[in-house]
A = this chain, B = another copy of it.
Amino acid sequence: MTPVRIGLIGFGYWGPNLARNFHAMPTCELAAICDSNPERLDKAALQYRSSTLYADVDKLLDSDIDAIALATPARSHYALARAALEAGKHVLVEKPLAMTTHEARELVDLAAAQGLVLAVGHVFIYNPAVHYVKSLLNSGALGDVYYLYSTRVNLGRVQSDINALWSIAPHDISIYLYLLDQMPTMVSARGARYLHGEVEDVVFLILSFPNGVLAHTQVSWLDPSKVRHLTLVGSQKMVVYDDLADEGKVKIYDKGVSRFTDAQYGEYQYRLHAGDIVIPKLPLAEPLRAECDDFIQAIQTGKKPVADGANGLQVVRVLEAAQQSLLQDGQPVTLAPQA
């Protein structure tokens, strides 16, 4: 099969990771790299000598590449993805797919109309640890899902154009939608702007799913330590996924429940007991590589990518509702059952 010719737009923070993966894959060719910043382009030239370099997106889109990977600031995603689709290129967009539901849906529709692949960089749903948690869930071993919560904070790169919700939480939201296989019915978010007053540096987000399932996420770029932690509490077992753990990223906690009668007040009481803990050996695959592979295979075989445009749209719907709640001091916002 002919290797897919990829053009990468954006060689800043994340673009080099996409470049490294596409370069290493036999199924595609990193044909071109585009960045309006000359320093970055020089850096790209040094590492990828056989790729054509562009300072101008239009020229790249005019060239004979098959697909575009977009690693530019979030606010540029919609316009660039649209231009690429209109130019007949398959597109992989970094998360979030767009900044509004309306724009996201437009991209999905455009890709469908053009018969092109539209994929979104929800890299965590290509993660072996997330797959493992999903398989546990599907097997019924965890029992009913009670609640989930995640913390994704660090001391790091402060965005100036989008807040921590749009910058960081797409990861958590995409994981929740993937694990629970349904959309939340209500969203609320609180946050605050500390550093330069234009975007929220820290956001606390709660999603209500059917059957009383709650999912909470805390995101920030002002926190002292890097934390990438997700807990799922089920009626039978609990799972913790710590992306930074040295010794196994997933821990499965068994538990027991005992019920006893309180002699003094004559009421039933519950006591929960810790049980064995298992840390399973996970495959050592790089999630970003799996994401890139999935994109290329979708182009070559016509299969739908796991993180396709529709998936990207759902995540944007949740983000948009959360943003609305954020602007209303955390008022819960109801999500319509269908987009």
Q: A268 near B160 (CB under 8 angstroms)?
A: yes
**Which stretch in A31-39, A120-128, A313-321 binds the other chain?**
A31-39
Number of A residues with CB within 8 Å of any CB on chain B: 82
User: In this assembly, does A225 line the interface, its C-beta being within 8 Å of a C-beta of chain B?
Assistant: yes
Contact A204 B206 (CB under 8 A): yes
Which residues of chain B come closer than 8 Å to A224, judged between CB atoms? 231, 233, 238, 240, 251, 253, 255, 274
Q: Quick one: given A157-B271, A263-B39, are A231 and B223 in contact (CB under 8 Å)?
A: yes
Enumerate chain B residues within 8 angstroms of A37, measured Cβ to Cβ: 263-264
CA distance A204 to B189 in the complex (A): 12
Interface residues of A in 323-339 (CB under 8 A from B): 329-332
Bound complex: CA of A223 vs CA of B147, how far in Å?
A: 10
A 212-249 contacts with B by CB, 8 A: 212-214, 216, 218, 220-226, 231, 233, 235, 238, 240, 244, 246-248
Identity of the chain B residue whose Cβ is nearest the Cβ of A160 in the assembled complex: B267
A12 to B193, CA, bound (A): 46
A306 within 8 A of B: no
Contact A246 B247 (CB under 8 A): no
**A270–B332 touching, CB < 8 Å:** no
Asked if residues B160 and A272 are in contact (CB atoms below 8 Å), the reply is no
Q: Which residues of B contact A246 (CB under 8 A)?
A: 225-226, 244
Cβ < 8 Å to B, chain A residues 241-296: 244, 246-248, 251, 253-255, 257, 262-265, 267-281
Q: Does A176 contact B (CB under 8 A)?
A: no
Q: Which residues of chain A in 25-55 are interfacial with respect to chain B, using CB atoms and an 8 Å cutoff?
A: 35-37, 39-40, 49-50
A136: interface (CB < 8 Å): no
A158 at the interface (CB under 8 A from B): yes
With beta carbons under 8 angstroms apart, the residue of B149, B160, B222, B280 that contacts A276 is B280
Q: A273 — which chain B residues lie within 8 A by C-beta? A: 155, 281
16 pairs, A vs B, C-beta closer than 8 Å: A12-B264, A146-B202, A146-B222, A155-B253, A158-B270, A158-B271, A192-B213, A193-B212, A206-B330, A222-B272, A224-B238, A248-B277, A274-B281, A278-B279, A279-B279, A331-B331
